[in-house]
Structure 1
Amino acid sequence: MASGLIRKAPHEAENPIEVSLRESFQIVEPKLRPPFPLTIPTQEEYSNLNRAILYGILCESHLANVHIKHLHGIVTDGYGYFTSLLIKIVNDMYGKLFDSVKRQLIWVAHETVHVSAVGFDGLMVAFLRQIAGGDFSEGNLWLCFEMVSLFLSKWESLLEEDPSVLTFALYAFLRLLADHCRVSNVERIEALKRIEIEFCVRMLREQFCLCLKIGRDLLRLLQDLVHKPEFCAIWKDLLLNPSSFRTEGFADITQIYRTRTSSRYFLLRITPEMESQVRFLLTHVKLGSQKRYQVWFTKKFLATPERETLLIDIVRFICCAHHPSNEIIQSDVIQRWAVIGWLLKSGKKTHVEANMKISLFYDWLFFDDKVDNIMNLEPAILLMVHSIPKYIDMTHSLLEFLFILLDNYDLDRKAMVLGGISSAFHILVRKGVVQSLDVLVSCDMLSPYLRERLRKLLPDLQLHYSRELRDSNIPCNITPLFLPSFES
């Protein structure tokens, strides 16, 4: 009898997925040994066989080749059902699986790519999401190494069958590399960095047309790696020699800045468990009741200093991949801006704090209302406005950082950045996200320098809305109706 899949404490209930696979295995076990029956199975028998074969592959590694040949012999749906079972296991059970089962999962993942199984791209994404950022544990580094090795070894097959999955891998490994490059002289991490760099550079040099599909966040990630010679050379070519990428239609880095990154990429750096917890916080927890959830979240996902880099990905996810309904926005549920305020206060390292702010403001720099979503801008402006007056240091630091970006981010394209930031402010007022910017411009607690910069940046907006406020007798010193605690 095959052993189980997961570690389970005595008080824990059995996992329903494991129960289903095991029961199927027990029912059809006599049919899992050669010679295999030649009869055509019914739909129920086919499903049972798929579950039983998968359980056998994961638990009987010495018979894995026998089981996979059996699967090849009976498959009638392009391996679609089998692959869907694998995705469920990776998404819902991966953290509790025995190490031997994890090794078999990687083995069978190679097989799904080899046979171009229906849904294998979803399986690759599921594995990528289980690689946690800022986690230097042996198991996490092993998974990272196995997956980047898979993408390199199956390079030609992936290019032919589903090249888009390579862009997901590039996004994930560029982001992970930024974490790994902060550790030096640890052999297993050095070996991992070498293979990650090999994959990423190969993608950027050989398949740049695919890389363009990522959009502007490709550049955000690359800029975090310019200290590495391989990526410094790529960045220089992007700026000075774009023709070296041999991509028809690509002439200037501005084209990438103007391409919004799909929310699918931001999900890659948030594990399914983390995603469900963040979404629960933002859809069910009432303002004022969030502290115990924040404490739990911190202990669960941010327990060590290295995990702080996850904050960067969570902020980007909240801005770009979690857009609440109007019903939630108008309810007493804690809002996105308040959660981001707490996350910003949670970061202790200077580089993490800076990258969180870049994640918060990145779409501001290139905003175009024809392609961009105003919901990506909303958390930053509301955080600045609602932090007055109790958390004025938050307002001050965010506004100051935005002007630092304006003055220093890609000086050759400063006009573009100026236009993006100006457009962002205009649409936020025009769409009623904030009634006026007077709450910032007339705030005596902000430095005169920042207020003057705002006036010069948006002279027409200030004049127009200040007149409206004066004519309607609405006081200029607007104070937020509620102020959450940003402390965890």
Structure 2
Amino acid sequence: MDPLPGPKGKKQSKLLISTGFELRNEQEEKMENAFMMVHNRINGLSERDSHDAIIQIISESKMMHESATGGLLYGLLVEPQNAQKYFSLLALTANDAWYCALCNVNMVVIELYPKLRTEAREQIWFFFREAIRANVPKIDNVLNNLIRTLNDGLDLKDIRATLSAVTSLLNGNHTWLSNLRPKASLIPVTLQTLSRFICDLSAYPQCDTLRNQMISLCDWLLHERFLDCAQLGRDLILVIMRISKIPQFAVIWRQLFFEPTKLAPNFGGIEELMSRSFANFQTYRVSVAIQRKMEFILKLKVPMHEKHMEWFRKQHLNNPEAGNLRAEAIRCALFIPIGPDSPPSAADMKVIFITNLLSGAMAGVEQQWCKLQLFWDWFCFDPSIPGGHLAVEPGFCVIKHLLLSQHLLANSLLDFLIRMSSELWPPMQNRIVSSITNAFKAVTDHNINLSISSVLENSFVPKNLRDSLRETFKGLVRTPTVTQQPNKSEPSTSLIIDIDAESFDTESRLLISDASETPSTSATNGNIPSALEDESNENEEEESESFLEKINDLLPAVKEEFRDSIESLAHATNTEIDMSEMMQKLLTNVLDNEDLLDEEQTELLAECLLTIFGKRLRPKKPFPPRFAQSPEFLDEVFNHPLYIIFRNLCLTPDGDATRQPLLSLIAELYEKCASVSYLLLFFLCSGLNDQNDNYVSAYTDLCHILEKSVIEQLVKDLEQCHVDDYVLFGHLIPFVYAKFPSEAMSSPELMKLLADSIDGRQIADIVGEMIEENISLFRKDSFTTIVNASYSWDTLSKLIFWQLVHAENVPIEWMLPLLPKIQLNEQAEAATNVYIMLQRMDREPTMNLIRIILSRRPPDFFTVKCIRILIREQSSALRVAEHIGNLIDKLIQSGEIHPSNVKQRRGTPRNVCLEHVFAHLDNFRQTCLSDSVKKERKDAAESFLALPPLQNAFALARGADKITDLRIRFNELFAVIEILSDEPGQNPRTRRYKSQKRLIDNNEAMLFLYLWKDDSKSKRRKAMIDSDSD
């Protein structure tokens, strides 16, 4: 048997569908060679002699045994008429319990099945039928992989054929299924896969017969092998839920909840399933090819993953028949392990991968099913199971990631958790709420980089949604130990992950004073709420007990000179005025005894102060909007003792030696409570009546003490501030850019934080400040650096960034260094906003701009688009034509014709050559003068090309001998320019006829000139040879 002949003598595969451009598959070639060896040994022999020949082959060596097995399998696949003969010979070689044969079948199913010819696929099905009839051991494991190939997003035609074959095979072998060993994986894998297709194929009437066969098979599996199906654990509930509207499964769905023992003796029902999870079945949700691509994508780095994700979607999720495969991929991705050998970015890439799949789901049933697959483990989370947090952590990270890019979708996920807690199954509502709460806690307990407050207190989460989260998952909030007096408003709650008043580490989410409290009554009346709440003496005594014990433990180590002041501050009455007075006395003591304030004492003082402040420090809530417009509110906030330290520092002259102990104390406070430094910024912004620029030195000196650059500390502080209080964050941004202009306007990190974090109201405030010229966000020398950095940001962040750029009216000249490098596909947002800048130009285009645009490597649509924008106005078009004409003239005179001849010269901002100029103009001609272009655009292009500066430049180019090759290459461009130079008023038909005729004549003339020059060169060369011979 010879392979089919292919084009140009190349052998065409009888096993695989391939094109003439693909190399032959190595495994197929190996099997084919083995088959040729076997075929030559048994060709023409009787059945008995064939058996003897095969036995002789396999007894020669282990390698010959493997070759013979692979060859016989190849013959079975490509020669249907002899399939029974080859299967009998395979059975003869099965002295290893079919191990070698099944390995070869596995290889074909996993690696080659999508490319198999139709005849070969039918033979694969024949092999499984015969293997089941012969009761081949472990054939069920191989059949698993055949079923798995269905989860590849194939076309409906391919799916129907394989699905029908598998369903018929299993429906016809119930006895074999019944005799499978207990807990065989084939049973749950079949149920899990077919249940998806039962739903997906309901939209195709032509598949009703096949669908009924699958329903019959799944019904039989659930009734006869339920305990095997229960290996799916809680995923079995998803399987039956998906098909529960079908009458056969509606009965099973009711039994699962109310009569579980009818399904299996001693079965605990829904609660038992909810407590089970077997991740080893999750990979069967997708094909091996999809799993490998997912694992590959997780090894990539941002933004390298984007093109692979796009290809992944087109390859596997673009078909309407893909159905709910997107949800299956999400569920599978949750359980892809991130091992020690995985790159550091693997966990983040998993989140990005799931986010991409989720955001691409169609709104409605498909998106809701994707959400359910993502959060299913949250509804039955058990913190006592080791490693259980790994299944819920990606869901939390997806919410956090979407809040930065697609906050509406992120909010819908949070809303989904709230609704499912009560609607999934009302009798288990308390357990589900507890499970979701425990899932939130487990995420933050096992990952110090994740904080519940970063999601639940995010500025993009609406207030009503935050309130619903607190109300539904009360386990996430705690009631303060201080009880309120009767007839007071209900006690406020705070996220449980926030530390209490006795702990001050860098992860704290605390804000000085109760200024963040915004009672609904005050908001209703339109008044700014009070910054402080009165507390009774009884509550004060109860609250003081814990921190006084700690103060008493710390006091023995404090120097005697400071001890009395600390005790007085600790026992001060519960009013801000008394505490402020005691704080001032302590600072006076510190400054009077500066020589005693060593590093150890500074640390002790900081710990004592934070412990004392603890009863006034509360887990943060955002400041009320427009709080800065209320002097009363600010006065109450800045009466807190902490701001006494800030005020003393700011009022101390720069050269005074007493600044150093104050700075050291604040630095130590910052090391123990990360909010201190941005509160210093807040005080500098709003706490001083006299806005003296010298006060800013207090913050810069603190940065020096902390051994950090000013911009590094600013970014860190604003990041912390945004997590703690997004309202205060928006208040500080204009101050930072106004008082730290050189650092802020040069920082891509600060701009990214700004673009990632601000909301619509804050954008309006900042843009208003920019329009009034109170602040500026950009400067020329650092603008290109920020634009370059923005290429890797999320799309929403880029849009906000460019909105701020346009608000400041940044001129196009600042973008000139980047114009030659912008990639239209990769940096689409930058290209789009360059178009807007060109359209809004309030001055005529310069030679520098035209030179840089034309320096881009052709062909380039970006250049054509820029030219089209610049020539919309007649005066601007004339200036562009003059610049291009002058440029052509200079390039001809200087000899800068081709890219290889371009030399960098002083005064030329970018390299440009005549070939590029002609190429861009020719691309402009093809784009704007084609028949499909609107008449207005075509007329504008013709008017531009007919302008005298361009006509004169091309007339000069026609007479330049040194560019003959360019005239030949761009002969159509030259012809069009010449045609457009004709007198106006000609009949359009006459002009079109002349145009076509002149193009032909021009082509012939250029060809003749080229051949004449070539002939002249040949004659000169021949004359030189004759001269040498003489």
Same fold (TM over 0.5): yes
- Match of residue 110, structure 2, among 62, 71, 91: 91
| Residue 141 of structure 1, CA deviation | 0.7
d(CA) in 1 for partners of 2:273, 2:180: 25
| Residue 264 of structure 1, CA deviation | 3.1
Amino acid across the alignment from 2:373: S
d(CA) in 2 for partners of 1:132, 1:214: 17
Q: Paired residue for 2:276?
A: 259
Pair 1:179 & 2:200 matched = yes
Change (3 A) 1:318 1:433: farther
Q: Paired residue for 2:18?
A: 8
Task: Summarize deviations over 1:116-147 as a string: whole Å, max 9, x none.
Answer: 43442331111011113665522211101111
Whether contact under 8 Å (1:378, 1:433) holds in the other structure is no
d(CA) in 1 for partners of 2:367, 2:37: 55
Amino acid across the alignment from 2:338: P
- Match of residue 240, structure 1, among 253, 258, 266: 258
| Residue 259 of structure 1, CA deviation | 0.6
Change (3 A) 1:122 1:59: same
Q: Paired residue for 1:80?
A: 99
| Residue 251 of structure 1, CA deviation | 3.1
Change (3 A) 1:435 1:310: closer
d(CA) in 1 for partners of 2:721, 2:198: 47
Q: Paired residue for 1:139?
A: 158
d(CA) in 2 for partners of 1:450, 1:368: 26
- Match of residue 250, structure 1, among 256, 261, 267: 267
> After superposition, where does 1:94-243 map in structure 2 within 5 Å?
94-132=113-151, 135=154, 137-162=156-181, 163-181=184-202, 183-186=203-206, 189-243=207-261
| Residue 95 of structure 1, CA deviation | 1.2
Whether contact under 8 Å (1:287, 1:333) holds in the other structure is no
Amino acid across the alignment from 1:462: L
d(CA) in 2 for partners of 1:336, 1:369: 23
Amino acid across the alignment from 1:125: N
d(CA) in 2 for partners of 1:332, 1:136: 31
Q: Paired residue for 2:33?
A: 23
| Residue 184 of structure 1, CA deviation | 4.5
Amino acid across the alignment from 2:168: S
- Match of residue 462, structure 1, among 476, 485, 495: 495
Pair 1:57 & 2:76 matched = yes
Task: Summarize deviations over 1:255-303 as a string: whole Å, max 9, x none.
Answer: 111111x2332222311211111111111x2112222112211221122
Bigger shift: 151-160 or 420-429? 151-160
- Match of residue 88, structure 2, among 46, 65, 69: 69
Q: Paired residue for 2:297?
A: 281
Change (3 A) 1:51 1:275: same
| Residue 476 of structure 1, CA deviation | 5.5
Higher relative contact order (CA 8 A, sep 6+): 1
SS at structure 1 position matched to 2:127? helix
Whether contact under 8 Å (1:344, 1:356) holds in the other structure is yes
d(CA) in 2 for partners of 1:72, 1:463: 66
Change (3 A) 1:144 1:342: same
- The gaps in structure 1 that reach 5 residues or longer are none
- Match of residue 355, structure 2, among 341, 358, 371: 341
d(CA) in 2 for partners of 1:98, 1:369: 50
d(CA) in 2 for partners of 1:78, 1:275: 29
- The gaps in structure 2 that reach 5 residues or longer are 4-13, 479-493, 501-507, 511-671, 676-719, 724-752, 758-791, 799-825, 827-1030
Change (3 A) 1:204 1:416: same
d(CA) in 1 for partners of 2:143, 2:326: 24
| Residue 323 of structure 1, CA deviation | 2.1
Whether contact under 8 Å (2:330, 2:357) holds in the other structure is yes
Whether contact under 8 Å (1:2, 1:59) holds in the other structure is no
Amino acid across the alignment from 2:237: L
d(CA) in 2 for partners of 1:435, 1:297: 29
Pair 1:386 & 2:401 matched = yes
d(CA) in 2 for partners of 1:360, 1:9: 40
Bigger Cα Rg: 2
d(CA) in 2 for partners of 1:53, 1:442: 66
| TM-score of the aligned structures, taking structure 1 as reference length | 0.92
| Residue 484 of structure 1, CA deviation | 4.5
Amino acid across the alignment from 2:145: A
Q: Paired residue for 1:377?
A: 392
SS at structure 2 position matched to 1:330? coil
Matched length: 481
Whether contact under 8 Å (2:51, 2:89) holds in the other structure is no
Whether contact under 8 Å (2:110, 2:145) holds in the other structure is yes
Change (3 A) 1:326 1:385: farther
d(CA) in 2 for partners of 1:31, 1:85: 21
| Residue 179 of structure 1, CA deviation | 1.0
- Match of residue 370, structure 2, among 342, 353, 356: 356
Whether contact under 8 Å (1:469, 1:476) holds in the other structure is no
Change (3 A) 1:243 1:161: closer
Whether contact under 8 Å (1:2, 1:56) holds in the other structure is no
